[in-house]
Amino acid sequence: MSFGLTRVDLPEGDATREAFGDALAEVGANDERVVVVDGDVHNSTFTGKFGERFPERFFNAGIAESNMVGIASGLAACGKIPVAASFSTFLMSNAYDQIRMSVAFPNQNVKLVGTHAGISIGEDGPSQMAIEDVALACALPGFTVIVPADGISAAAATRAMIAREGPTFLRCGRPKVPQIYSSEDQFHIGKANTLREGDDVTLIANGIMVAMALDAAEGLAAAGIEARVIDMHTVKPVDVGAIERAANETRGIVVAEEHLAFGGLGSIVSMVVSERRPTRMAFVDVGDTYATSGPPDDLLRQYGLTPDAIVDAATRVLKD
Amino acid sequence: MPDLQRPRSDDLDAVAARLRHHIVTSTTAAGSGHPSTSLSMVEIIAVLYRGGVLRYDPSDPVNPNRDRFILSKGHGAPALYAVLAEAGYLDASELTELRKMGSRLEGHPNMCRVPGVEASTGSLGQGLSIGVGHALGLRLDGSDARVYVMVGDGESEQGQVWEAAMFAGNHSLSNLTLIVDRNGNQQTGPVDEIQPLSPLEDKFEAFHWAVRTIDGHSLNEVQEAFEWARSVGDRPQVVIANTIKGKGVSFLEERQSSYHGKPLNEDQAAIALEEIGASV
Ligand SMILES: Cc1ncc(C[n+]2csc(CCOP(=O)(O)OP(=O)(O)O)c2C)c(N)n1
Ligand SMILES: [Mg+2]
């Protein structure tokens, strides 16, 4: 996959789902409390790597997401750190009431991991594409919501969420993605990473849109516009300071995410901006529609998730 | 760790009468709630908490080796709060704070606020899955503690109950006991007219559960059923308790299918308390 990148040269790295699966197996070796609940998709979510090493702490609940989440809640009440993983749409949409009642409301230390998020899953089509999941997760009081951009940060996020008490949603994707970070880079839940400095406009992105924002920044630079690029991997609790600084120090903000327009990163950044420091904003997202089947790069182009779309949005923002 | 006891009262009839008394007074004071739902489960929870079944210590409510009782039919909260008072987790004088502003005794049980409440419930169908999680966690820890879950018969229409039942049978969770409070009625009418469950015994057997059906108002039968459940050893057990919705209050028993979620007014409560005849 190219992700529409033409101006930056990023090496291909692991898919975020696979990096999660590897990191989970690693964490599981060091912490006996980690238990995995699967919904018959461990070969897709890569929790199978944990299952192979720790079969006594791995439960395949079958195709029964509601029950999966309830079991995870009971395990958490016994002091375990349950990780319930499935395709993000089946987990977040099929079991939403269970997530609300059995995890969020009683504030249980359950880790929900949704893979195959977004439209970049491609040919499997819209029934399998989670594009509402971030909004659903962010709506839950007390939830931490993380959308990593590459394999290295997905692995770091996996370790960080296990180490940190509280209900968490980690969103991973299907395809291999450009590698942005090196293993020396820092990852802290709730703290955005500024990947490029710039004073004209700020590009805030997460997931696969981070690489596209870096590419867009190169394009803008060629036109004499210096763009700041922020990886807002934690959508909730969002890094208010980073947003406020961007609003103060640059002339506008573009938010890019592989999600519906409503209730995701764009909505949350706009809330902060409108309260702290109103500024011009523009949004690059899936809009208000379901996608279709097709090759991932073609879908991303069709639904406007490209570096050029980010360049256009930034140009709009800067126009008086 | 101090040994956990299985508290035992020598007068369970009196315990049951007190629970009924508190169910009526707390819901009448609240002006809302589900007295008839709560009255049908009285003997079962009386035996669990005061008949030497559950192992617990109210001064150490999160002891990892405690037995757990999860009230999946969370609208039976008035009964749960009453038995938690009986067991020493709450003071009985607090029960009439039910559903009031500022009270931790919310309309449905909240595990974050009330010691002894093992799961926050109120959206029907979820408690058995949570119980399965507890049973797995206890098994992983090598604990011999047991998990008891109560569902309603109407609640048993939820698919998640059967997802959990299938999982528990498949994993031979012998430390898990389910009680079905089979009072024959749900919110809008009789279960048999809405979505009949029969043959319920066969359904659980097909899911590899050990099954026993009892009169859920006979203290002896309830006691024996829990002894039986503990002795099964190789699979989860379900006690199907045939009960009467509103048991102990004549005019509720007579109108079982039309009294769901209705508290008694002061006059009705006075008659009900006289019929119940508890000494509190
Ligand atoms: C998921 C869900 N749907 C609907 C309700 C509303 N509701 C509350 S009690 C009830 C009937 C429950 O019947 P049953 O399980 O038989 O309990 P009973 O009151 O008879 O003990 C309903 C439909 C709910 N609480 N949860
Ligand atoms: Mg009923």
Q: Yes or no: say if A124 and A295 are a contact pair by the CB < 8 Å rule.
A: no
Closest CA to B236 of B262, B264, B208: B208
Q: Which domain holds residue B158?
A: 13-276
pLDDT along chain A (320 residues), means of 10: 97 98 98 97 97 98 97 98 98 97 98 98 95 98 98 98 98 98 97 98 98 98 98 98 98 98 98 98 98 96 98 94
Q: Which residues, in sequence order, are CB contacts of A113 under 8 Å at separation 6+?
A: A20, A45, A47, A83, A84, A85, A91, A169, A170, A171, A172
Residue B6 in domain: no
* Ligand 2 center–CA B36 separation, angstroms: 10
Q: Is residue B36 part of a domain?
A: yes
Residue B177 lies in a domain: yes
Decide if B20 is inside a domain.
yes
- CB of residue B155 inside a 6 A radius of ligand 1: yes
CA distances for B38 relative to A215, A247, B90, B101, angstroms: 63, 56, 18, 22
pLDDT of residue B2: 58
Q: For residue B112, tell me if it sits in a domain.
A: yes
Q: Are A99 and A92 spatial neighbours (Cβ–Cβ below 8 Å)?
A: yes
Please enumerate in sequence order all residues whose Cβ is within 8 A of that of A262, keeping only pairs 6 or more positions apart, or say none: A135, A288
Cα R_g (chain A), whole angstroms: 19
CB A254, CB A275: distance < 8 Å: no
In this complex, is the C-beta atom of A1 within 8 Å of any C-beta atom belonging to chain B? no
Q: Predicted confidence band at B280 (pLDDT cuts at 50, 70, 90)?
A: confident
Q: Does residue B240 surpass a pLDDT of 70?
A: yes
On whether residue B270 sits in a domain, the answer given is yes
Give the model's confidence band at B69: pLDDT under 50 very low, under 70 low, under 90 confident, else very high: very high
Average pLDDT over residues B48-64: 97
Please list all protein residues whose beta carbon sits less than 5 angstroms from ligand 2, which is an ion: B 152-154, 183, 185
The contacts of residue B269 (CB under 8 Å, 6+ apart) are B24, B25, B28
Position B35 scores a pLDDT of: 98
With 90 as the cut, is the pLDDT of residue B46 above it?
Answer: yes
ipTM: 0.90
CA of B132 to the centre of ligand 2 (A): 22
On whether residue B5 sits in a domain, the answer given is no
Between residues 150 and 179 of chain B, which touch chain A (CB distance below 8 Å)? 159-160, 163-164, 166-167, 171
Shortest CA distance from A55: residue in chain B: B140
Taking an 8 Å cut-off on Cβ atoms, the answer to whether B160 and A76 are in contact is no
What long-range pairs does B221-230 form, CB within 8 A, spacing at least 24?
B222/B43, B222/B44, B222/B47, B222/B51, B223/B47, B223/B51, B223/B53, B226/B47, B226/B48, B226/B51, B226/B53, B226/B177, B229/B177, B230/B146
User: Which helix (DSSP H) or strand (DSSP E) does residue A86 occupy?
Assistant: strand A81-87
**What residues form DSSP beta bridges with B116?**
none
Residue in A with minimal Cα distance to B108: A101
Residue pair B79/B42 in contact (Cβ under 8 Å)? The answer is yes
Q: Which atom of ligand 1 is nearest to B183's Cα?
A: 20
| Residue B61 covered by a domain | yes
- Window 121-140 of B, Cβ < 8 Å to A: 121-123, 125-138, 140
CB B68 within 8 A of CB B92: no
Q: Is the pLDDT of residue B1 over 60?
A: no
Which positions 198-227 of A are in contact with B (Cβ < 8 Å)? none
Q: What is the DSSP string of A191-238?
A: B-EEEE--SSEEEEE-TTHHHHHHHHHHHHHHTT--EEEEE--EEES-
Total structural domains in chain B? 1
CATH number (domain holding residue B253): 3.40.50.970
- How many percent of chain B have pLDDT more than 70? 99
**Catalytic choice (A12, A26, A56, A65):** A65
**Smallest CA–CA separation between A116 and chain B, in Å?**
24
Q: Mind telling me how many Å the CA of A291 is from chain B's nearest CA?
A: 30
- Ordered structural domains, chain A, with CATH: 12-178 (3.40.50.970), 193-317 (3.40.50.920)
